[in-house]
Homo-oligomer: A and B are copies of this chain.
């Protein structure tokens, strides 16, 4: 899977009846940028997550978790050995 983060913040934004423009203003970035972030063609800077959680009235930890998951995916996508690499970290090698 991919772009968990973008899908999530789009859903949250719609639930809150907010426009991209409003979210953008809160983060002080361009509307076009969050549009791309929702679509997964760009990454949000990690530092923006607190403000984002704020305006979306969301749990900051949940957003960060999804954000990290996407980052991890970015590394192991197209890598057949990705799962094995994760297992090494989890310590259940093999």
Chain A: residues with CB nearer than 8 A to chain B? 1, 4, 61, 64-66, 68-69, 71-73, 75-76, 79, 81-86, 88-90
Nearest CB on B from A91, distance (A): 9
Contact B90–A69 (Cβ < 8 Å): no
Bound state CA distance, A90 and B82, in angstroms?
A: 11
Q: Is the CB of B89 within 8 A of A72?
A: yes
Provide the bound-state CA to CA distance between A82 and B65, in Å. Answer: 7
Which of the listed residues A4, A61, A66, A68 has the most CB atoms from chain B within 10 Å of its own CB? A68
**25 residue pairs A–B, Cβ–Cβ below 8 Å:** A1-B89, A61-B81, A64-B81, A65-B81, A68-B75, A68-B76, A68-B79, A68-B81, A68-B82, A68-B85, A69-B85, A69-B86, A69-B88, A71-B75, A71-B85, A72-B72, A72-B75, A72-B85, A72-B86, A72-B89, A75-B75, A76-B89, A83-B90, A86-B89, A86-B90
